Structure 1
């Protein structure tokens, strides 16, 4: 088990004296059924110890190999690139990691990405990164792993408020009210953020058409729960979120409205009776998005794609029954989404309209068993899913005459997918624990990948309704070594085989006309989402955690991930290439001081190795190192002053590189101060 500094982590072994337990604190979480996870590499992130006012994806970035599609964080990244990646399996804008909040998936029903700005880290009680394929409950999306978020337990009534101001005209405010009752609770929370943003094109390449990447966000949530009987609880949640963004050009904007609702019934095991959990949820999204192209001097722009109506909906349920070492369950989800867009602007306005989208569902059943022994445990999971993609459509018409210019016949497709995991933990000695696991997991391509084409500048990416599910096979082995009460070392080796991984594969270069995607301008590239036969990743994870009685702590993490395409019959010239946006080396070092009363200060350095921004491995983006500092000063028992500075050295962080050498930059130096109150 691996943990963040000052993280709330359960000790990996029982202790016999006070000294032996002082390194680890006990997790306090809401009641839940816990799946078997023997042999799995787990990292728990203490959000309370992270940078004040930071977004959750920014905090997760301290775990090497965990991040968004590109180096940009959610402050400036386009929403459709905010899917989570893990372990160098190969970056994908949709993400290959399942993200859940209180057991409810947060991945967008249309595109699989996650709206990180909708999540308030301070409202979370537990953040657990589960690395490696994770079949079981909700296993159909946890290809490379899962991120399990749990809301802060409501054990006492409290009112909390926080506000901050920073450069780029950034203002944030949040407030919450928790009410604890004898037989339940309810909590109301809200937040607002706005920023003038920064230029995402560097000054030496910028023109008059470039503007700052401004954004604003509002969110409101309500949670309520009640105790039905001893060991039984009923909880419900409703969340609303709205976001507006400008993506570096006046005409490149997007808007999101989202509503989520869920209900959860939990009965804990007691007196030999089984425990059970029932979860049902519904999600609605309304997305609008536009792309613009600029001339070579970047002084004039024109709309090239207006996705004016992109609704999406998702619904699902989970039912699980647990008795002792055995758990069985079934989950199902139904997703639908479409894009309605204007395209083909030759200079006098749009001439075509496109309607594309479809539906999909998955139903899966699983069984887990776990056996505990004196010196370890053994667990096994087996899951079987049935999936179907249907109602697919791509219809293009002429705006002037309404004549049909394209009408694709997209047949329904369906299939079965089996997945599973075996894992073991073994206590070799009082100081050393060993673990090992083998697994197969899978992911159904998103509706977005099947049907939605998009354009960024002169680069065009086509959808592909013929995609097949991704499959990930993996083996890993690791050790956790704790010779002293305040020192822990973790090492893990893994190998993953990604079969039929979805990637954006180059079709041709502009200028020229292509039957697949139409006219591609000079300097542009036409790509299509395609299944790559096989990619292999060999990885080594290392983590060292030291805490001193003086209040100082040190946490170092490193990931080596050697990912490469090993088989691709359609384009054998890509064999040996490194998957896009996948660094070979990444690491972080956090130094923290906590006096236990008033002061908490920390400095953190992060390193990302060089990556390629194209499948041909011609657009190389160099390595980058950033340094951050943050702290909290408790003024009174209820009032604290917070401050943070990210990318202190103002390192130029390039997140994307075009065929013409145009850079997109992200994460410039950001400084914020704020106040936090709790009554």
Structure 2
């Protein structure tokens, strides 16, 4: 089964193996293997949006299939995404042992940032937190998905305003992939447990899905043994999610899709009492028309909250209680594809996003435990985008180009601090701002032969600062990081050249050179010892080489990705001392390779080796996080009828993975962890 394979390579490999080949302007009639016009009756997979446009492979794209998603060592979505070299979170920890507000996702080593520089969509809906911009990875089990499509480089099209480093599209699995009923239960050698289940009956001419997941456990010590104190705690976690989805055709060409999700995640990090939580409730409604005029209309609403208690690392008492951070995300989009003909696939439309939220927190004295201040902060960000894009097929040559115009506002920003005796310490109301951003992208794909395709692309993108970056200061003792209400959007310009090679059926190679620059990159800039402020840097420059390879021979498959990136900060003024430095949390080299063997109806054995190069904790090129090379294993063996035995191993060789290093105060990632369990389903 193809896994981390370039999208163009996957399509090509499928066509080479399929005697029913068809041209980009046609779709396959699966009954008689004859090409039919797209206006004729076709077989459509329910529950998805409009298909990718013909020239989508012109951009550097990796597709992760369902087999790869559900056979990771950890069973976590972020683990599966890490098979795409160049994907990174702010820290190396997964969602069981990281503060949720640090779980930003980015691509192409464009600098460590707790806010996502990549746009992540679930069934077309942006899922980043409206206040912080982090991704709630624990709310999405990989077993709920059919595929993930990762496009690297600045974005355009729907919701392109957030696709600074690229776009990650998560597609929910339908009834055909899930089966009527599935349940899985696992336990590891520390007593942590994982339970998931789904029910996907046919309803009318469509289907419904109800899925749930519950993960809990005492976790492991993130603090090295020689740094532990009586107050040190294991990384306890207890999270659940419950979702529902219904998909129904309405006539021949119209389909309605509705989705709901509720989740809660509780964690304890480093010290007893250092508890945090995140929760959310999401709804989305989508109408897809696949007639001559293809139309995709989507609306969504999200309600999120976050809490966090900070414990002093010297006196081990509560010093900060972020007791409430309610936030709301509202938005929608419409995309229209008219039948223009002439080899053109035209799409245009509009999208809208609104994020608002407030922070309520209390500050306490580390010496007396008495309340020092009540703090309040928040605001509203909006973005209205208009987009148009056209793919043009001229014989074998595919051309694509698009442009966006975004009207954004940054409104109602405030920060207020009130001392325990009622004295107003600060009462700031910040000026409203609004402006336009115009971004674009263009690409080309051309087959030199049946075995070689070349492609190239140029693009731009932008990302608004989040409410967190604009208005919320924070302390990781003894370092104070100030917010900055004057932050400007981050802007990216870049280009890439690539080649895809298909030496034989079931084999593909891909190589891409890219050159990206993020102007105004937001970073925590050191102003003096123990004092930082979020500021716009002049730029982050990143040039690199990306490689991907996939080989499938019957039940055997081998998939790998590798990226080398040369990234540096361009800094002047207060950031002049950062000029030429490697951005924090940015490795120079990363790679992943997975070997798998499929057997019987539902059996699979796989092994994954990943390597992440060394990186710096901060902007001064200090406090090194050493390179790490963990190995994970997965096995699922059918026992009888619908029952299978499952075993997983995370970090098999117990590699030391440093996830934080602040003045030699260290946090560690997952140690060797072995899971066993059972899966039953049909």
TM-score range, shorter chain: over 0.9
Q: Tell me how far 1:570 sits from its aligned partner.
A: 2.6
Q: Which of 141, 159, 166 is residue 188 of structure 2 equivalent to? A: 166
SS in structure 2 of the partner of residue 440 of structure 1: strand
Aligned to 2:514: 494
Distance 2:6 2:181 in 1: 25
Are 1:555 and 2:555 an aligned pair?
A: no
Distance 2:287 2:641 in 1: 36
Are 1:393 and 2:408 an aligned pair?
A: no
My pick for the range that moved more, 321-330 or 493-502, is: 321-330
Q: Tell me how far 1:13 sits from its aligned partner.
A: 7.1
Aligned to 1:177: 199
Q: Tell me how far 1:317 sits from its aligned partner.
A: 0.8
SS in structure 2 of the partner of residue 133 of structure 1: coil
Q: Which of 345, 354, 357 is residue 365 of structure 2 equivalent to? A: 345
Aligned to 1:32: 49
1:495-514 correspondence runs (5 A): 495-509=515-529
Determine if contact 1:292/1:457 at 8 Å carries over to the other structure: no
Q: Which of 644, 654, 660 is residue 658 of structure 2 equivalent to? A: 654
Q: Which of 630, 639, 645 is residue 634 of structure 2 equivalent to? A: 630
1:570-581 correspondence runs (5 A): 570-581=574-585
1:111-130 Cα offsets, whole Å, 9 max, x none, are: 11011110011111121111
Aligned to 1:518: none
1:70-109 correspondence runs (5 A): 70-109=91-130
Distance 2:231 2:75 in 1: 30
Unaligned regions of 5+ residues in structure 2, if any? 22-27, 31-43, 340-344
1:65-464 correspondence runs (5 A): 65-155=86-176, 158-268=180-290, 270=291, 273-295=292-314, 300-324=315-339, 325-348=345-368, 349-400=370-421, 402-464=422-484
Aligned to 2:41: none
Unaligned regions of 5+ residues in structure 1, if any? 510-524
Q: Tell me how far 1:67 sits from its aligned partner.
A: 2.0
1:402-459 Cα offsets, whole Å, 9 max, x none, are: 1101122311111110111001110011110011000000000111111111222322
Aligned to 2:342: none
Q: Tell me how far 1:364 sits from its aligned partner.
A: 0.5
Q: Where in structure 1 do 4 or more consecutive aligned residues deviate above 6 Å?
A: 5-9
Distance 2:6 2:427 in 1: 58
Determine if contact 2:585/2:617 at 8 Å carries over to the other structure: yes
Q: Tell me how far 1:538 sits from its aligned partner.
A: 0.5
Determine if contact 2:3/2:67 at 8 Å carries over to the other structure: no
Determine if contact 2:48/2:171 at 8 Å carries over to the other structure: no
Distance 2:491 2:190 in 1: 43
Aligned to 1:12: 12
User: What is the TM-score of this pair, normalised by structure 1?
Assistant: 0.92
Determine if contact 2:48/2:123 at 8 Å carries over to the other structure: no
Q: Tell me how far 1:375 sits from its aligned partner.
A: 1.4
1:484-536 Cα offsets, whole Å, 9 max, x none, are: 11321100000001100001111222xxxxxxxxxxxxxxx221111011111
Distance 1:338 1:75 in 2: 25
> CA-atom RMSD, angstroms?
2.1
Q: Tell me how far 1:48 sits from its aligned partner.
A: 2.2
Aligned to 2:34: none
Q: Tell me how far 1:154 sits from its aligned partner.
A: 2.6
Determine if contact 1:5/1:554 at 8 Å carries over to the other structure: no
Aligned to 1:514: none
